[in-house]
Structure 1
Amino acid sequence: MQVLTGKKIYFLSDFHLGVPDHASSLEREKLIVRFLSEAKEDAAAIFIVGDLFDFWYEYKKVVPKGFVRILGKLAELTDSGIPLYFFVGNHDMWMSGYFERELNIPVFYEPQHFEFNGKEFLVGHGDGLGPGDKGYKFLKKIFRNKMSQWLFGILPPYMGMGIAHRFSKSSRAATGEDDARFLGEDKEWLISYCREVLKQKHYDYFIFGHRHLPIDFTLNDNSRYINLGDWIRYNSYAVFDGQNLELKYYRP
């Protein structure tokens, strides 16, 4: 894609709509919709890089209640001709065609390579990459398994959603302290992952979410790792104007 003068590509992630309660989630959803309405004026494309929802599961005839504002805004954007790209996160990995059919948004399950104006991008949510975290990587294989998803779908929605939200809450409690601070380049697993990838192929920008901490880290003279942070604490996002990529914060 060639980004024309005056146009921009937006990257944002980790909205976690649905938590910690309905009122605060709704307030956050309205803020994100406001941001997307403003971005619509000059967006060449918009990337949502995972964990839009704190939990999402598409039953055969049912999708989770709520989120009508964000879903309506996404439909409005694609209907207007703006390309959107969605990457599943660890909280909303159980997509099953709804975004593709209803919203015309392609859904990706692994990091993807893009080229914009001669710049090479590797974009993904970021969960399960890099060294360590073997427990989660094992669970991810189970959660991604079609049989596991089918078995979960047998549960009545009220029961399945209740279990999922309790699991999600315990997961956030376990990582909350680490999410709040930079661990040092040797302990940041996505920095380690980027460096391993660079041994095989050059990328100008690595863009990930999942970490919940805005990070702009120089890997070498020609490559940067950007973590998009979240919209729970930071309202952070990245924007590429065709020449430069910048990590920014939305303060309406």
Structure 2
Amino acid sequence: MITITTSKNKKVYFASDQHLGAPTNEASFPREKKFVAWLDDIKKDAEAIFLLGDLFDFWFEYKTVVPKGFVRTLGKLAEIKDAGIPIYFFVGNHDLWMHDYFEKELNIPVFHNPQVFTINNKILLIGHGDGLGPEDKGYKRMKKVFTFPLFKWMFRWLHPDLGVRLGQYMSVKNKLISGEEDAKYLGDENEWLVQYCKRKLSQAHYDYFVFGHRHLPLKIELQENSTYINLGDWIQYFTYGELNGSEFLLKEFKP
């Protein structure tokens, strides 16, 4: 378990689901500039930054090649990390093929499963949110296929120009592969991440559950002193989380 205690006037920030590159690099460029502007804005008082997956709409790491683009985002993350601000990255369903590029090039740890953090004596369970809970069954099946070592080995033998183009096409066009859900609030009883959180609460206490994936900014009280947060996205809502002391706020970035 990683423990973080914020210094005076410092905050911890959370963001998810930027989907840079969707539907094309050119179309997502204004969104990337807005996200970079947010990073530039928060670096002045950030104790730590959590990125909860789907930063890219498609990402695959060959041994010596990564997808072209996103220079402003990667450069800003490198600048922030080099300034001594910790950044934690959680793999989403669109960048599930991330390996060690962030760790080697940016010194940013990468997590493939939800992790428990203690921040200012609050216990947080943090992750992207894909494949959790009782539903998302179609995506769970596809994830097993796409994370199977033989499949990844076969895909790696495709020329990067072909492999990346194919991956981008599947990511944008095929909802089954992408695991995307319609961004509609289903009600607490039908929100499968809410059900997942309630099941986890039966095993241990968490002050906050923080996830992405649903593309909806949500803040739902599960029980006294336990809250489920969904961070929304950077396609429609441009929302992010801010842990200020012990209070978790959902905010919209308006540069």
Structure 1 residue 178: deviation in Å?
5.1
Identity %, equivalent residues: 56
Structure 1 residue 30: deviation in Å?
0.8
For residue 199 of structure 2, the aligned residue among 180, 196, 200 is 196
Equivalent residue for 2:159? 156
State the distance in 2 between where 1:2 and 1:43 align.
Answer: 12
- Count residues in correspondence: 252
Q: Secondary structure at the match of 1:31?
A: helix
**1:23 is the counterpart of 2:22:** no
Q: Secondary structure at the match of 1:186?
A: helix
State the distance in 2 between where 1:118 and 1:157 align.
Answer: 45
Equivalent residue for 2:57? 54
Residue 154 of structure 2 aligns with an amino acid whose one-letter code is L
Deviation track 1:15-43 (CA, whole Å, cap 9, x = no partner) reads: 00001223331111111111001100000
Q: Secondary structure at the match of 1:20?
A: coil
| Aligned positions of 1:79-94 closer than 5 A | 79-94=82-97
Q: Secondary structure at the match of 2:143?
A: helix
Structure 1 ranges of 4+ moved more than 4 A: 172-178
State the distance in 2 between where 1:178 and 1:29 align.
Answer: 22
- Any unmatched runs of 5+ in structure 2? none
C-alpha spacing 1:229/1:93, structure 2 compared with 1 (3 Å): same
Equivalent residue for 1:43? 46
Which stretch of the first structure deviates more once superposed, 175-184 or 145-154?
175-184
Which stretch of the first structure deviates more once superposed, 42-51 or 91-100?
91-100
Q: TM-score, normalised by structure 1?
A: 0.96
Residue 101 of structure 2 aligns with an amino acid whose one-letter code is Y
CA contact (8 A) 1:13 1:52 kept: yes
Deviation track 1:98-128 (CA, whole Å, cap 9, x = no partner) reads: 1000000000000000001110000000000
C-alpha spacing 1:161/1:175, structure 2 compared with 1 (3 Å): closer
Equivalent residue for 2:72? 69
| Aligned positions of 1:1-252 closer than 5 A | 1-172=4-175, 179-252=182-255
CA contact (8 A) 1:5 1:242 kept: no
State the distance in 2 between where 1:3 and 1:239 align.
Answer: 12
Q: TM-score, normalised by structure 2?
A: 0.95
Structure 1 residue 186: deviation in Å?
1.3
CA contact (8 A) 2:139 2:177 kept: no
CA contact (8 A) 2:139 2:176 kept: no
